[in-house]
Amino acid sequence: MVLAFTLFFGDWTFGSYYYKKYVMLLNHIMSTYKHPSVFISNGILMGAGAGFFMNGRFRIVTENTVFAMPETQIGLFPDAGASYFLSRLPGFYAEYIGLTGTRLDGIEMAACGLATHFVSSKNLRKLEESLNKIDTDDPSIIDMVINQHAENPSLREGCSLLKSDTIDRCFSEGSVEEIITSLEQEVAVDQKDWISAAIKTMKQASPTNLKIFLRSIRQGRNQTYKECIQREYIMFSHAMRRTITGDVFESVAAKLIDKTGSPKWDPPTLAQVTDEMLDKCFKPIKDESWLHLNLPSEKNIISEALISARL
């Protein structure tokens, strides 16, 4: 939708404005909402949808839930608060998820902390009925009700969480190039399919956005949620403006218009993406038509939500 705004109107500020108003502002509203919220996912969680879900006090998943942040494959970077909620995962699991776009099931989400509860899909209706019967915003009571329907299933064999030693060793490296080199050294010793898949996926992804994400996630570990989404808004605006690359638009053209399925990234290699180029994507845009992301204070949050709902 955001890309459609930019492509249709031919002005990058339209996409930037839509992203600001309907993604980042909404995320901020949900993250500062004082009453505990219960979010349930029984399907796909990707991109902005995943970002919204992560603002729930209680985040319930099922065996049908699939989570992924595959943006680097489409010429962008994990956003919608991803540099905050992914960076809070154990070790360097965030780098693995964001750089490779690997998919997690509901059990894995609950195990790593992306979800708070796992409930079988067949029990969702009973859970909703139980929640509808209580008249309280006491988190402990809500948690107790959810736990009456929750399960604690075992991780499947081959789950990425069971490979944390290798993931931490490789994805803690200082650059994308060093991460790939470390993975290649691992696979040379031990021919594991998941390592080969990670290398292949990263080499197919947008070099620029791999580097943007790595810097973003590393900064996110030391920032508040508000600081993360403000920075991600700046980064996204640069993507719409094509400050250093038009990879996201190239990806749309390759997959939806030309149907080649093989976008030509620009720059095409990691070596050509310099620190000076990346610096530009993290600085506010000096353009009178660009609007800063001024997030409302908590006392104005409800009025801002009502205004957004009318637009």
How many Å apart are CA 5 and CA 74, to the nearest integer?
A: 17
Distance CA 205, CA 74 (A): 7
Q: What is the pLDDT of residue 149?
A: 94
Helix (H, G, I), strand (E, B) or coil at 304: helix
Q: In angstroms, rounded to a whole number, what is the distance separating the alpha carbons of residues 164 and 212?
A: 23
Reported as half-sphere exposure (CB side, CA atoms, 13 A), residue 4 has a value of: 2
Could you read off the pLDDT of 183-202 as tens digits, one per residue? 999 888 776 888 889 999 99
Between CA 254 and CA 256 the distance in angstroms is: 6
Which residues does the chain have with pLDDT short of 70?
1-24, 191, 258-259, 289-311
Query: pLDDT, tens digit, for every residue of 79-88?
Result: 889 999 999 9
pTM: 0.83
What average pLDDT does the structure give for the chain? Answer: 84
Per-residue model confidence as pLDDT tens digits over 212-227:
999 999 999 999 988 8
The pLDDT score that the predictor gives to residue 49 is: 85
Calpha distance 216→96 (Å, rounded): 14
Which pLDDT score is estimated for 304? 46
What's the pLDDT at 310?
Answer: 39
- Sorted by where each starts, the structural domains of the chain and their CATH numbers stand as 2-310 (3.90.226.10)
| Secondary structure string (H, E, C) spanning 229-271 | HHHHHHHHHHHHHCCCCCHHHHHHHHHHHCCCCCCCCCCCCHH
pLDDT of residue 169: 92
